[in-house]
Amino acid sequence: MRIDARFLTKIRKEFPAVNKDPSGRKRAFLDNGAGTLVTRRAADREYEARLDWSANVGNVFPESEGAGETILEGRTAVADLLNAEGPNAIISGESATSLMFNLSYALGRDFEGSENVVTTGYEHYTNISPWVELGSNGEINELRFAEFDTDSGKLDPVKIQELVDRRTRVITVTGASNVLGTRTDLKEIGKIARDADAYFIVDAVHHAPHELADVHGIGCDFFVFSGYKLFSRHGSFMYAKPEHIRELMPYKVLSSPERGPEKWECGTRDQAMFAAITGAIDYLAWVGSPSAKRPPRPGSARRSRLKTAFKAIGRYEQELMEMALNGKGKTPGLNDIPGLTLYGPRDIDKKTGRDPTFSFKLRGYSDRDLSALLWKRHRLAVGAEDYYSRVPAIFKKKTMVRATFVHYNTKGDVVTLLDALDRLSRRKR
């Protein structure tokens, strides 16, 4: 299975907005790190659930029963995506930020105030602020950052190990930097966490569309991702080991459930969110078996198709990354465009790989002006901000321009970006 030009055409038909913006203008969407386009299957499932299953759960009439079934289907689909124990290991939330705060508060209740938390130097503030909050409340003593190499953009797991001591209770890392594209060696850090008897938390919001997760393979206690960055709608999901769901005590209102994922969820669940994520995951399973006439059965059948899909996605995205970094023909890559500073790995790590995320600055242009020029002259949608990341400040920058690719992007999108940047660089010489 590989994503060739013919299959890519079929994939792009699954995304109604892939070719044109809402005004009908053709463009290349390269701001996927801020939120991917929505697959038709996710939108259709959400639409149906919104109309048909609008009632709350727990009653005997069809709208209520349908809502409950839809939520269960969504939890099951996410469990298959993550290789979790089952639907009862999947907690939903408004956002990854809300889930991380809820988790940090629950863990903090059992801390004495002398503990420390270890994280990486390239985290999104979603995985920083909750731990800073615990420190402000006296529930931990220190938040420690394992700094990455600013020249290569990479993080040696030894940097994590050096910060861990007997008071380390949490090791919490991103799956990949949403600015640098650097992938974290999750399996290696998972071993460090187990040896330290520390909770291991993974923020996979940025990384989820690029590599199939396996919560057992990496040995994490908690794993968080967001639907709107995985071809679905807003709303987020967290895997938690069943014993943590059972034993930890999150903040909750009186009379809310005492067990199961509902114990961790604040307020009534939105069944349409669960329907949408089921649609998105079934789309990904279709990528793994495009000739199949029906969605796969939950469980091993769906997981098998997801494995095939993400292998194909990984191979195709590697082609995009190699072209982005090194160019094509006479068009130089990001490594070679005059006046362009690329932040992050300049190659694809042989062990961990890389995410197709590229942040840069171009001499002679402010980030906002460059983003505007790329849009107005070349119809390229890219970001220009700090991305709620610690990274720009490490490089003493307020913002960076960022282009992020996923598997529905074309090689033509890459060449168009490179050619535009090269032309703009020459005008400022």
Work out the pLDDT band at 55, boundaries 50, 70, 90.
confident
Spatial CA neighbour of 75 closest among 220, 199, 228, 240? 240
Tokens of residue 265, six digits: 């969820």
Work out the pLDDT band at 131, boundaries 50, 70, 90.
very high
pLDDT tops 60 at residue 429: no
pLDDT at 316: 98
pLDDT at 428: 65
pLDDT tops 60 at residue 214: yes
Work out the pLDDT band at 427, boundaries 50, 70, 90.
confident
Angstrom distance (rounded) from CA 301 to CA 81: 11
CATH of region 5-39+311-427:
3.90.1150.10
- Rounded (5°) CA angle 323-326-330: 90
User: What DSSP letter does each residue of 249-278 carry, written as one string?
Assistant: -----TTS-SSSGGGG--SS--HHHHHHHH
pLDDT at 39: 98
pLDDT at 298: 94
Kindly list the domain boundaries of the chain, sorted by start residue.
Answer: 5-39+311-427, 45-281
Task: Name residue 128's amino acid.
Answer: I
Fold category of 45-281 in CATH: Aspartate Aminotransferase; domain 2 (3.40.640)
Angstrom distance (rounded) from CA 164 to CA 159: 9
Dihedral sign from CA coordinates of 429, 422, 350, 220: positive
pLDDT at 1: 83
